[in-house]
Every structure is written in C-alpha cells, then in structure tokens.
Amino acid sequence: MRAMNLTLLTDLYELTMMQGYFKNPTHQIVVFDVFYRTNPCKGGYAIAAGLEQVVEYIKDLHFTSDDIAYLKSLHIFEQDFLDYLKGFFFSGDIYAIPEGTVVFPQEPLLKVVAPVMEAQLIETAILNIINHQSLIATKASRIVYAAKGAGIMEFGLRRAQGPDAGIFGARAAMIGGCVGTSNVLTGQMFDVPVLGTHAHSWIMSFSDEYTAFKTYADMYPDACTLLVDTYDTLKSGVPNAIRVFREMKDAGHPLTHYGIRLDSGDLAYLSKEARKMLDAAGFTDATIAASSDLDEYLIDSLKTQGAKIDSWGVGTNLITSSGHPAFGGVYKMAAIRDRDAAEFTPKIKLSENTEKVTNPGNKTIYRIYSKATGKIRADLICLAEESFDEAQDMIIFDPIDTWKRTKIVGGTYALRELLVPVFLKGECVYQSPTVMEIRDYCRKELDTLWDETRRLMNPSEVYVDLSDRLYELKKALLEEMGSASIK
C-alpha cells in the first residue's frame, strides 16, 4: 500500500539521541506510553485508530543505503553509528488498544517495551499515525451520532492537507462510522464503499438542466441522485428531477437507489419543500441528500428543525477535524530497567500542570462494564502484573480528587483488559481486521457509552482511575522528587 520507506519519518533529535545512546551504551529496556490528555472537540471520548499503519511501519523499519548516505551528508553522525544503522531492526514489544475502541484521556493507547534506541526512533512516526487517524475517527463518530441513523458520506479529499491525509483520513472516517467515501484510492486500498453523484459543472455543461439530468439517469439508472440546486432548487431543480424520475418509471425501470442532493441554501426549508413535492408526485421513497459545509453541530441543528434529509455528505469539516485540528497524543517514558534485570524502575514526569504529570511504571488498562446494562462504568489503569477478582467489591476513586469514590459490588461488573500484544520480541503477533470489520466493532464500542457521554455539548465524563498500587507508587515518587527539589 505504501510506496515509500518511512524510517526517516522522524524528528532529527530522535536520531541524535540514538547516537548518544550508541556512544554511551546503557543496555536499557524502556517503557514508553502513547496517550492523550484531552478529548477532541470537547467531547466525552475518542476513537483509537491507525494501528494497522503502525504495524506496517514497524514491519518495514530499516535504513536503506540512500538513508545512510543522506544521514552521512548531514555531517553530524559518525561512521560507526551509521554502520550500526545499516543492520537496524525493531526487536521489542508493542501493546496497543485495538482500532475502533472507545478511549479516554491519560490511558495508554499504545505501549512500547524495547531497547532505548529502538523505542526512541519510533516515537515520531507512531504519534503522527495515531494522532491523525484517532482525531478523524473521533470527529466522524460525532458527526454520525448527530445524524441519528442517517448515513454520512466522507468526501473531503480535495480539502485534505495532502494525499496521505485524504487517504488515511478517509480510512479513519470509515472506522468512525461513515457509510462510504468519495476517495477512490481509499476504496481500492481498504476495500470500503465509494460513493458520489455529480457536480454542478455536469449540469452547466449541457444546454439545460433537464437534459443534464436525463443523460445522467440514462447512464446510471441504478444509482441516480441528481444535484438540484445549480439554478433554482424548487422552481427548476426538483421539478426537472421529478420529470426524469417519472420518465424512468413510465419506461418500466425499477427505481431503487434514486433521489436528489441539496448543496446550498436553507437546507431545512428546501428539504421540507422538496419532500412535499417528491411525495406529491408519488416518489415517497426518493432520498434527499445534503452537503454544504456540514459538521456535527449544523447537522444536529437541522435535525432539530425537522429537516427532511436522509443522508449527509461531509467534507472539509470532517477531513480536517475543523474546530479541533490536533489530537494531542504524547509519547512519554514510564519505566526503565537494565537488560538483564527482572524489575522495571518506574519513571515520572513532573509539571506544574497537574494533567501533565505522567503515570509511572509498566502499566495496563482494565475496562469495567456493568453486567446489567453492558455500559462502561469506568476504566482502571494499573500495573501490568496486577489482577482483579470480579467476584470481589471494587473501590475506584478519582486520582486527582481522591475523595470522589465509588464502590462497585462484586458480581455486578465484568473486566476487560484493553491492551493486546502487537509485537513480541520484534515479531508481529497481531492480525489487523479489515476497515469494515473495525467499523462494525467501533459501532458496538460506542453502544457501551451512555448518550450523556456521547452528546455534543458538555458530555458526562467517563472516569479513568488508578489502581491503589499505581496511585501509591505515583504518590511516593512525587513525594520523593518533591523532597529532593527542596534539598
């Protein structure tokens, strides 16, 4: 799928740090966590996406002779280090939350356990891939939610920030719940539905609107959606569309997938009037699609106004995640050990901003579900070696406001570990599902959220708590570092 080797898709300082480690051997194994701090679009959740591309990147991780020659030309890397890079490959472990999973701030979406040089190199590319696709998948899921069951088509390719953003953004949008994309290359690469109608230029290239509609209908009778707002939507566009539909019906052609598209004007008013006209003409099953700079807020407003729109085409505001252009995922060291040691030494990053203080140690995540409803009660970040008994009561608490505590009665909840192995000792042990399989899985994941968490404005928070052991470890490290700074 990918024409170029992405090994040099990294920041220069990753390579200069690698050379530093090479010149000063530490033989250390480190743990790095990928996580984010704030939900996109002021929402109540995010959707993990991009793991398949991370897998491809790690599998293909190697320095070509051209890469080595370029690095040598920078005159900052010594020959022995360049010689080492010639045989470089990833030998560590990667654990990740599967694509399409609902996720929340602070919890590791992906965990790298590897020699420090290897873990350092892959930081930038992993963040680039995960940040972008998780952002677009989340935006898409919000737009799909606003549509309340009406299909969302992604067609933002011409407004995306370059080919890769258009291709993989469309992939992520499908994961988030879109029914199809206008991007033909994405359709080919990932075997997802491609959809589309025609442009205003098609209408304008004919002598009149009716002839343009008639010609299009003759060519595509089984997928005939006519763009009706080139001249006058209600006086010309809809009447001409009805004329064509009637002629198709009189000719005995079964009308299966047909309708009109609105791309400008007052979509609420125009859709209501168009619906009346189509129904009066006997075309009650004709669909009405709409586009025109839509996002989740405008779709929600149009739904509230009673707009008679059956499907929505969303471009710019989806593919660019307008209103929240960056996901904000970070890659932070959480633990370190010598290669021959059995135990990791936890590491913590301090900050005056409470939300930027990291969670130390080699960790995993358990999701707590209510057995009665199937909904998420909370997520629990804990140390990797911890285990829990679902038959026992569980006390969870807010790691910041520790007085906020909840008792979950044993037997009423179920646990699921979210991080799964992807690479072990450099070997891929994970098979990526198809995009459509991930999309179906994502829909089931979203059903585990209450509507209060999915609402577009002021959503209810899903709690992400720390286990007692992890909380005490973090507290001890903070106290230890605080005492050291006073000295």
CATH 3.20.140.10 positions along the chain are 12-136+325-486
Cβ of 396: how many Cβ atoms within 10 Å? 21
Using CA atoms, how far apart are residues 319 and 181, in angstroms rounded to an integer?
11
Q: How is residue 274 written in tokens? A: 């168009």
* CATH code for the domain defined by 141-319: 3.20.20.70
Question: Rounded to 5 degrees, what angle do the CA atoms 415, 421, 423 make?
Answer: 170
**AA identity, residue 217:** A
- For the domain 12-136+325-486, what is the CATH superfamily, name and number? nicotinate phosphoribosyltransferase (3.20.140.10)
DSSP-assigned states of every residue in 346-408: E-----SSGGGSPPPSSEEEEEEEETTT--EEEEEEEETT----TTS-EEEE-SSSTT-EEEE
391: its two tokens: 């038959």
What is the C-alpha to C-alpha distance for residues 24 and 141, in angstroms, rounded to an integer? 47
End-to-end CA distance of the chain: 56
The predicted pLDDT at position 487 comes to 45
Give the Cα separation of 428 and 418 in Å (integer): 18
Contact predicate 365/381, CB 8 Å: yes
- C-alpha to C-alpha distance for 73 and 307, rounded to whole angstroms: 61
The pair of three-digit structure tokens given for residue 233, joined into one six-digit string: 């939507």
Distance between CA atoms of residues 302 and 290, nearest Å: 11
Residue 483 confidence (pLDDT): 60
Structure token digits, residue 335: 């633990």
Provide CATH 3.20.20.70 ranges for the chain: 141-319
| pLDDT at residue 351, as a whole number | 82
pLDDT at 26: 81
Per-residue pLDDT of the chain (487 residues; tens, 9 = 90+): 445 789 999 999 999 999 999 999 888 999 999 999 999 999 999 999 999 999 999 999 999 999 999 999 999 999 999 999 999 999 999 999 999 999 999 999 999 999 999 999 999 999 999 999 999 999 999 999 999 999 999 999 999 999 999 999 999 999 999 999 999 999 999 999 999 999 999 999 999 999 999 999 999 999 999 999 999 999 999 999 999 999 999 999 999 999 999 999 999 999 999 999 999 999 999 999 999 999 999 999 999 999 999 999 999 999 999 999 999 999 999 999 998 888 999 999 988 777 789 999 999 999 999 999 999 999 999 999 999 999 999 999 888 888 888 999 999 999 999 999 999 999 999 999 999 999 999 999 999 999 999 999 999 999 999 999 999 999 999 998 876 554 4
